């Protein structure tokens, strides 16, 4: 992939490394210079030069690390994330056309028409992914299978262990710019994931809303009932269908 604004053909090796840096940030979400250097097998100083260039070109932005990542003494390492311009350098199809079409649909058919379209798209996505996920498997295995299938269809997804569950992290969204105006797409996608996985899920963050990653949480336990004062009377284990 050729990143817009990268140096000319005389610096092919430099271009490839810079593109690889941007690709890793796209696939893995916000990254530190040290993490990128380790993955690419180059020095941290070399990676920082590419990061500085990508920031200057408006393709990456520096961010403070999440509070949970700030451990130990010293100044915490800053992370680098894609900007909207950086995401635009990666393939995602016909955003302007799709946005215009959905605006027209909303104007002529109302909000319910947009919801119906979002559900139709989600149904198509669930059929695409369902064959790769065994709903009788353990929950982490289902999450891994979903992430693998999403990655094969352009979403650059990974999984992470989390408290009382597992998270599916989508580092690239082909329709992020459209979903920023039409969140119905994200809502319908979340319900599609529930159908594919055979369990309840929670959408915690989305690229469309300005987060660095689309994060979907798969809890291992769900409350059975909740009393009037908000306390639960029990939980059900959903790690594997019984």
Q: Which among 209, 167, 18 is positioned nearest to 2, based on CA atoms?
A: 18
Q: How confident is the model at residue 26 (pLDDT cuts 50, 70, 90)?
A: confident
Three-state secondary-structure class, residue 15: helix
Exposure string over 207-227, b if 16+ CB within 10 A, otherwise e: bbeeebbbbbbbbbeeeeeee
Kindly state the percentage of the chain with pLDDT values over 70: 79
pLDDT tens digits, one per residue of 143-187: 999 999 999 988 889 999 988 899 999 998 888 889 999 999 999
Reported in sequence order, the residue ranges of the chain that DSSP labels E, i.e. its strands, are 60-63, 79-82, 157-162, 165-170, 202-205, 214-219, 221-223, 235-237
Phi, psi of 81 (to 5 degrees): -130, 155
Pairing of β 165-170 and β 157-162: antiparallel
Q: What residues does each domain of the chain span?
A: 9-88, 95-237
Please list, residue by residue across 146-180, b when 16 or more beta carbons sit within 10 angstroms of its beta carbon and e when fewer do: bbbbbbeeebbbbbeeeeebbbbbbbbbbbbbbbb
Residue 25, pLDDT > 60, answer: yes
Q: Which of 89, 93, 29, 33 is nearest to 57 (CA)?
A: 89
pLDDT tens readout for residues 59-69: 999 987 665 54
Instruction: Give how far Cα 176 sits from Cα of 61, 117, 180, 214, 218, Å.
Output: 18, 16, 6, 10, 22
pLDDT of residue 9: 43
Neighbours of 89 (CB within 10 A): 21
pLDDT digits (tens, 9 = 90+) for 187-223: 999 999 999 999 999 999 999 888 889 999 999 876 5
* The listed CATH number (3.30.70, 3.30.1710, 3.30.1380, 3.40.50) that belongs to domain 95-237: 3.30.1380
Mean pLDDT of all residues in the chain?
A: 83
| DSSP conformation class of 226 | B
Beta-bridged to residue 160, according to DSSP, are: 167
Query: What is the longest distance spanned by two Cα atoms in the chain?
Result: 70
| 111/128 Cα distance (integer angstroms) | 26
Q: What's this model's pTM, rounded to 2 decimal places?
A: 0.61
Residue 237: band (very low, low, confident or very high) from pLDDT cuts 50, 70, 90: low
| pLDDT tier, 49 (very low <50, low <70, confident <90, very high otherwise) | very high
Specify whether domain 9-88 bears CATH 1.10.10.10. yes
At residue 240 the predicted structure's pLDDT band, cuts being 50, 70 and 90, is low
């Amino acid at each position: 992939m050729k990143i817009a604004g990268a140096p000319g053909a005389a610096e092919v090796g430099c271009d490839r490394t810079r593109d690889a840096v941007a690709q890793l940030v796209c696939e893995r979400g916000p990254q530190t210079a040290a993490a990128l250097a380790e993955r690419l097998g180059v020095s941290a100083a070399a990676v920082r030069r590419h990061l500085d260039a990508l920031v200057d070109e408006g393709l990456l932005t520096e961010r403070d690390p999440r509070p949970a990542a700030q451990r130990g003494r010293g100044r915490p390492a800053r992370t680098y994330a894609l900007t909207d311009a950086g995401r635009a350098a990666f393939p995602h199809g016909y955003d302007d056309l799709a946005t215009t079409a959905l605006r027209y649909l909303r104007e002529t058919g109302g909000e319910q028409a947009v919801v119906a379209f979002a559900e139709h798209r989600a149904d198509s996505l669930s059929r695409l992914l369902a064959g790769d996920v065994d709903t009788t498997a353990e929950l982490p295995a289902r999450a891994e299978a979903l992430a693998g299938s999403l990655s094969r269809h352009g979403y650059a997804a990974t999984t992470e262990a989390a408290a009382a569950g597992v998270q599916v992290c989508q580092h690239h969204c082909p329709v992020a710019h459209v979903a920023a105006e039409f969140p119905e797409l994200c809502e319908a996608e979340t319900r599609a994931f529930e159908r594919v996985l055979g369990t309840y899920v929670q959408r915690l963050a989305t690229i469309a809303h300005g987060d660095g990653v689309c994060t979907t949480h798969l809890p291992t336990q769900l409350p059975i009932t909740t009393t009037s004062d908000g306390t639960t009377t029990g939980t059900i284990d959903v790690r594997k269908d019984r």
